[in-house]
Amino acid sequence: MSDILPDEAAVWRRAEDNARAIFGQYGYQEIRTPILEETGLFKRSIGEETDIVQKQMYSFKDRGERDVSLRPEGTAPVVRAYLEHSLGNVLPVQRLYYIGPMFRNERPQAGRLRQFHQIGAEAIGSPSPYLDAEIISLMMGILAACGLGDVELKLNTLGCAKDKKAFEQALKKALAPLAGKVGSLCEDCAKRYEKNILRLFDCKNDGCRKALVAAPRITDYLCGSCSGQFDRIKELLDAAGIKYTLTPSLVRGLDYYTGVVFEASHKNLGSQDAVAAGGRYDNLIEGLGGSSTPACGFAIGTDRVLLAAKGTEIKKAGLDLFFIGLGDEAQKKAFSILSALRTKGVACQMGLDEKSLKSQMRLADRVGAKKVLILGDEELKKGVALLRDMETKTQKEIRLEDVTDTHLW
């Protein structure tokens, strides 16, 4: 577990602020659950046979002899709260996010701490592929806002519970000749073969990897509805310009995943290169005592994101507009236009002093403005302003009366 010292804490806050801004853009609301939960919650949701439950949780009896654990992940607590407070009755689809520490007693190494931090989201209440695509797009947006615009997104599907089971059985059969022989699978995988066979795909051991090359693939065991669903998600990601790599070996070790699963990784990190991951978990809520409720979500490892992004400056979450008024009259006009824009939900700011255009442009860049509006005396007389797009570096003249048209922002 490590301290986050003041210099670093500023970077953390910036990353978290950016994440919050993006959650806001997608209409996700924050939920804060306790750090401590009943141990049974994690056993029932993550799975008794997973490494997390078997080896990694900080579990103990409290003074009332209750079995409790520091939360090792965020999904189970959010789902517990969703059920406990009947949030499904409040909105048909609940879009929730959380930011906070998680705890796992693992062997520490670069990018793996025992108290680590996650920025996560859960969208509960719909089986729509639009929701899968939305949650992936949201995750990628937050990573980009935290300075990681160049992650690799791996994508796979585990199908429904039936498909997953058929695949597990096929895998078991195909690997049966190896499972008995001593040494052909590593010690961990020999155990996984019996209890949680999909976890074999997470093994880094050469022998185990070789054994899996010719193994069956989940894609051959999908039912019509699951493969159609997966195709739709891919189409939507294509339409949104989100690049992905189809990765049939991506299985995610937690029991509750069904349907689409995904993971983002970054080249700056060594063997622990995943910075974010998630997927659909349509059976978890029912498994925890609720009615059958489809859901999906992701978690971003903040520690790893900041490690991977080291050296790249994390810009403040973008303003839609930075207004530069040159001269007193122009400043006044800017102020009134900004007031009108803010009531329409446009995030904007103006230069406050009479500094040069150049230094104000630099400031606009530093605050992450997407567009800059420049208004001088000449333009003011003509009733126009210069609108500069900071990304394409192009500018054009627009009429002042059109500035408050929200289609621009």
Residues that bind Zn ion (CB under 5 A): 159-160, 163, 186, 189, 203, 205, 208, 223, 226
CB atoms within 10 A of CB 213: 7
| Closer residue to Zn ion, CB minimum distance, 175 or 348 | 175
Q: How far apart are the first and last CA of the chain?
A: 43
| Closer residue to Zn ion, CB minimum distance, 189 or 346 | 189
| Closer residue to Zn ion, CB minimum distance, 153 or 160 | 160
| Closer residue to Zn ion, CB minimum distance, 159 or 301 | 159
Smallest separation (angstroms) from Zn ion to the CB of 204 = 8
| Closer residue to Zn ion, CB minimum distance, 224 or 383 | 224
For the purposes of burial, counting CB atoms within 10 Å of the CB of 26, is it exposed (0-12), middle (13-18) or buried (19 or more)? Answer: middle
Contact between residue 151 and residue 275 where contact means Cβ atoms under 8 Å apart? yes
Contact between residue 400 and residue 383 where contact means Cβ atoms under 8 Å apart? yes
Smallest separation (angstroms) from Zn ion to the CB of 225 = 6
E strand or H helix that includes residue 73 = none
Crossing angle of helices 187-195/161-180, nearest 10°?
Answer: 140
Contact between residue 258 and residue 103 where contact means Cβ atoms under 8 Å apart? no
Smallest separation (angstroms) from Zn ion to the CB of 191 = 9
How many Å apart are CA 386 and CA 210, to the nearest integer?
Answer: 61
How many Å apart are CA 316 and CA 297, to the nearest integer?
Answer: 25
How many Å apart are CA 171 and CA 166, to the nearest integer?
Answer: 9
Distances (CA, A) of 197 to 142, 176, 268: 33, 11, 30
| Closer residue to Zn ion, CB minimum distance, 218 or 334 | 218
CB atoms within 10 A of CB 120: 26
Among left, alpha and beta (phi > 0; psi -120 to 50; other), residue 244 is beta
Smallest separation (angstroms) from Zn ion to the CB of 186 = 3
| Closer residue to Zn ion, CB minimum distance, 140 or 211 | 211
Smallest separation (angstroms) from Zn ion to the CB of 287 = 17
Smallest separation (angstroms) from Zn ion to the CB of 348 = 47
What SS3 state is found at 130?
helix
Contact between residue 113 and residue 104 where contact means Cβ atoms under 8 Å apart? no
Smallest separation (angstroms) from Zn ion to the CB of 223 = 3
Smallest separation (angstroms) from Zn ion to the CB of 368 = 43
| Closer residue to Zn ion, CB minimum distance, 189 or 314 | 189
